Structure 1
């Protein structure tokens, strides 16, 4: 019988590190673990290096070779991810059966949620493009081309995984000059994923809106889908569950349009127009003669009512 070992901090620094690993209402940016298998090719080493460049500083790179086969035994990979506090991983390997192999995946609750094995058909590294690059921590604009991404659950999971892998930070508002980096994902008919990276250039157009040009800065790669391991629906639903503090309660008669504008509907009682309070002006005031005549009419009406009684 194995007892669960409870990790207790001995120093203040250790207590801070354990508190950082605990679940939060608003989670931190997902860190990525970059590691190599027992044998890797030059293309795979360059590819992992370029992924680490995109993820800096939210990544941890292991320089030693690791004798790990994630699809056969995922326990060593889960231990390394938990030790490094990483929720994403990219594992590169090379063999005669599966040359130029890359496995990308996600970790939830110290266990692998899902992972996809890609084969690299064509690769051109970041250094082979001799032009100016974008700054580190520049938030990229992710563009998924084609309607085939929504044709099956497997492709939807791959799209979600690629979004997490190349995503940097959530932003609520953005200005046009702030979009500098564009990463394009195109899915062909034979299910080849073509990934291209561009720098956005704003040129003069003679109008208020500038003319936009895209300059490829690398890396450029074509990936084929080899093996997949997708989480069950129950585990996937649990991983996407929002805490109660972040749930938006639906308000009655309040809606939002496609642009995020709030529209509300107000129900009021039927108004009596004759009793509405209008603006008081001297020109609208009654003269003394009109007031005297109104009093006489009021007295005559009261006398008529008393006579009927």
Structure 2
């Protein structure tokens, strides 16, 4: 039985603009994240969801009501909520006797589950426990992943990719030094993931480069890895496929070195250096003696050519 999908056609200019914004873009903007809780959530889980929501704002949506969802058994209700709120990322909090203080980070592809990883909260210190000044709304954070384990297992690779997608904002080509205000550090040590958040302080150093200090502002979280649901190779390849506009075309005789400098090679024909036009200066002009010598050489060459022609004429037999 085939299901026919209804094609929505815009009737106004604003409706057409909204539909175009929902289509896949060549350069994607910041991805929205949905924050929600399950049947039961502890105070620690709710506070953590609020802190992550404050960091992600304004590209986030938080649901205050509890949801009867068991995410690893049936993910269809969560997919419908993500489709309804137009959020390709989600953070799901829950609490039960078997898995207390539970947080699930996940992603959607075409509003179908791509991957998700379940983490347990071992220790937590929220924003309210730090009396330092907080960062401004919408600040683009600098992400630091410490430890070689982030590139060794598929589970940590996907978790790193989820964190990058979640805290990524607008695409920029240049970064201003004063714009680096927020640093989020992810460290893998002893089987745990340590999340730390710092505010960057620029101090006077007596030179052009300021002295940088990090002031912890929270939240401070220690995660333990629990369950996961990773995608297949074909699905991940389809989800990470780049459009044709972003693929680099190879140009002949052009090389870019490690520092980003472009080097080009030009092929030209053989040149006669003696006939090159130089700058007309008094110092480069020929003297009268050089001119007379050139005239004499030309006369000698002409006389020698005439003499050779005469010899050839005499040797030729006419019949």
Interval containing the TM-score (normalised by the shorter chain): over 0.9
Maintained 8 Å contact 2:147/2:188: yes
Cα distance in 2 between the residues matched to 1:210 and 1:297: 73
Deviation of 1:5 after TM superposition, in Å, equals 3.0
CA drift at 1:108: 0.8
Question: Following superposition of structure 1 onto structure 2, how do residues 58-207 of structure 1 map, counting pairs within 5 Å?
Answer: 58-188=59-189, 190-207=190-207
- Give the match for residue 34 of structure 1: 35
Tell me the CA shift for residue 307 of structure 1. Answer: 1.3
The 5 A counterparts of 1:263-282 are 263-282=263-282
Separation of aligned partners in 2, 1:57 and 1:23: 21
Cα distance, 1:10 vs structure 2? 6.8
* Contact map agreement 1:55 1:168 (CA 8 A) in 2: no
Distance 1:281 1:29 in 2: 63
**For residues 266-293 of structure 1, what are the alpha-carbon distances to aligned partners after superposition, in whole Å with 9 as ceiling and x for unaligned?**
3334444333332211232224454344
Q: Which runs of 5+ in 2 are unaligned?
A: 310-319
How far is 1:70 from its partner?
1.5
Corresponding residue for residue 22 of structure 1: 23
Provide the residue aligned with 1:298 in structure 2: 298
Q: Kindly indicate whether residue 258 of structure 2 is the aligned counterpart of residue 258 of structure 1.
A: yes
Deviation (angstroms), 1:11: 5.6
Cα distance in structure 2, aligned partners of 1:253 and 1:284:
37
- Give the RMSD, CA atoms, in angstroms: 1.8
Deviation at 1:175, TM superposition (A): 2.0
Q: Which moved more, 1:131-140 or 1:204-213?
A: 204-213
Match of 1:54 in 2: 55
1:5-37 CA-partner distances (Å, limit 9, x unpaired): 315257635544333211222223211011110
Could you say what secondary structure the match of 2:214 adopts? strand
CA contact (8 A) 2:35 2:90 kept: yes
* CA distance in 1: counterparts of 2:82 and 2:11, whole angstroms: 23
| Change in CA separation of 1:42 and 1:284 when aligned onto 2, cut-off 3 Å | same
Structure 1: segments with no counterpart, 5+ residues: none
Q: Which moved more, 1:129-138 or 1:18-27?
A: 18-27
Question: For residues 263 and 65 of structure 1, what CA distance do their matches in structure 2 show?
Answer: 59
Question: May I ask how many residue pairs the two structures share in their alignment?
Answer: 308
Q: Which residue of 2 aligns with 1:244?
A: 244
CA distance in 1, matches of 2:139, 2:259: 25
Larger Rg: 2
How far does residue 85 in structure 1 lie from its aligned partner after superposition? 0.8
TM-score, normalised with respect to structure 1: 0.94
Compute the TM-score of the two structures, normalised by the length of structure 2: 0.91
Counterparts in 2 of 1:11 and 1:270: CA distance versus 1, 3 Å: closer
Work out whether 1:216 is the aligned partner of 2:216. Answer: yes
